[in-house]
Amino acid sequence: MTVKTGAYFQGTGRRKTSIARVRLVPGEGNVIVNGKPVDEYFARDGAAIEATAPLAVTNTARRFNAMVKVEGGGVTGQIGAIAHGIARALLQADKENAAVLRKAGHVTRDGRAKERKKPGLKRARKAPQFTKR
């Protein structure tokens, strides 16, 4: 795969309530999240590996720099959103990545989110305690 100089690829990833805007630029493999290196932004062990998993799966970790802006949600949602955004940007870069990314489960958006609270209930499904007499 050859990438033109100055070319970049964009992908938007979403997970729970997090949204990540990813821009891949040809480079040496730096991942910057909201102005900080990915290891510094996520203090959790293995978070950087999870977020950049699509790059590792397609063997393009040393070929692209990723600039990411992520907002909303918590740490887990943001990690998932970044991984989804990187995967979608890699699909733009090369369609041959599709099979590998799909098999690894990075292309499909995880639609699970917190269910809304219903009126008359304590949470989404937890009802107040029932008393018979």
Residue 95: give the domain boundaries: 9-104
Any domain includes 117:
no
CA distance 123 to 115: 9
Do the domain assignments include residue 28?
A: yes
pLDDT at 60: 93
Phi, psi of 15 (to 5 degrees): -155, 125
| Burial class for 98, CB neighbours closer than 10 Å (0-12, 13-18, 19+) | middle
- Under DSSP, the state recorded for 90 is H
Residue 130 lies in a domain: no
Instruction: Please report, in tens digits, the pLDDT of each residue of the chain (133 residues total).
Output: 555 556 899 999 999 999 999 999 999 999 999 999 999 999 999 999 999 999 999 999 999 999 999 999 999 999 999 999 999 999 999 999 999 999 999 999 999 999 999 999 999 999 999 999 8
* 91 three-class SS: helix
Sheet arrangement for strand 9-15 = 9-15, 18-26, 64-71, 31-33, 36-37
How many domains would you assign to the chain? 1
> What pLDDT does residue 133 have?
86
Confirm whether 34 is domain-assigned: yes
- pLDDT at position 115 is 96
CATH number of the domain bearing residue 32:
3.30.230.10
Structure tokens at 78: 């943001």
In a domain, 113, yes or no: no
Whether 129 is in a domain gets the answer no
CA-to-CA separations, 117 to 76, 93, 114, 124, in angstroms, rounded: 22, 41, 9, 4
| Domain assignment present for 132 | no
Query: Residue 1: its pLDDT value, please?
Result: 55
Distance CA 23, CA 123 (A): 38
Residue 21 lies in a domain: yes
